[in-house]
Amino acid sequence: MKSAAQRLADDYSSSAPDYAGLWGPVILPMALPLLDRLPLETCQRVLDIGTGVGGLVDHLRLRASTAFICGIDRAEGMVRVGARTRRGPFAVMDAECLAVRSGVFDLITMVFVLFHLPQPGQGLREAVRVLRPGGAIGLTTWGDDPGLPGLEIWTEELDRFGAGPDPRDECVRQHGLMDEPVKVRRLLDAAGLTALTIWTRRYERAWDLGSLLVLQKACGTPGRRLATLSPGERAACSERVRVRLEALRPEELVWRCEVLFAVATC
């Protein structure tokens, strides 16, 4: 039987084109303030763990133009999309067991990925192992995040139609372990890292109904639950959700979330 981490990787692989076109462009700009606090000008080797389709790599190259920059992800489909559209190298690799010798990298980035690891502490310890002494790690995770607009409506309608639960295992949805600065500091300390700075930033995004529905059905929890229904039930459920979402006021289609940033050294 496949592990929860591999099932998650398979899920991301199958949805890689949708992720690249729909979700990646939404969350990548939220992570970019991290780069302002990283020592990119002096880095020679950078590893982007959980690179997905490689969106952050483009920005790392702009800031560290002479550095060797590698993106790794457990989801082969995501890596393939990144390798087709961006300069390499990219590799399929498990963040909790990196196929990299120790003490190689000057900097590691982990953007919106740590909560997906069954053992976040092990992932951070592996990052420490492959960093040179004095190397740095920069990460982002979600702070206060109520979810995209309309999530309660989706939940009510999916429950009404008898949809199954989200198939993702709780061990790859560990946001609660790192959604506050004190929690992130605790994880960093336990991995032998010294936090240099931890901060939060709030974002708002106003959605139009069409884009929101496409995203939620393609990449989100509603889409995964929707897939447990028959085709007819999926269509009927989606239509009920659409009608209810159309009744929302514009301010109710605004997503308000918090991103937590951290920079640490070993």
Note the pTM of the prediction, 2 decimals. 0.95
Element (H, E) at 56: helix 55-63
- How does pLDDT run across 192-251, given as a tens digit for each residue? 999 999 999 999 999 999 999 999 999 999 999 999 999 999 999 999 999 999 999 999
Of the candidates 80, 89, 93, the one whose C-alpha atom is nearest the C-alpha of residue 5 is: 93
pLDDT score for 56: 96
Average pLDDT, the chain: 96
Of the candidates 11, 13, 59, the one whose C-alpha atom is nearest the C-alpha of residue 32 is: 59
Of the candidates 114, 141, 147, 113, the one whose C-alpha atom is nearest the C-alpha of residue 222 is: 147
Record: fold of 4-145+169-205+256-265: Rossmann fold (3.40.50)
* Rounded-to-integer distance, Cα 117 and Cα 29, Å: 22
Geometric angle at alpha carbon 106, from 194 and 139, rounded to 5°: 55
pLDDT score for 132: 97
Of 43-52, 78-87, 170-179, 209-218, where does mean pLDDT reach its minimum? Answer: 78-87
- The SS3 call for residue 150 is coil
Q: Tell me, what amino acid is at 8?
A: L
- The SS3 call for residue 132 is strand
Geometric angle at alpha carbon 159, from 256 and 176, rounded to 5°: 45
Domain residue ranges of the chain, discontinuous segments joined by +: 4-145+169-205+256-265
- How does pLDDT run across 28-75, given as a tens digit for each residue? 999 999 999 999 999 999 999 999 999 999 999 999 999 999 999 999
pLDDT score for 84: 85
67-92 in b/e form (b: 16+ CB < 10 A) is bebbbbbbbebbbebbbeebeeebbb
> At 106, is the pLDDT very low, low, confident or very high (cuts 50, 70, 90)?
very high
Is 137's pLDDT higher than 90?
yes
Q: Please, what is the end-to-end C-alpha distance for the chain in angstroms?
A: 36
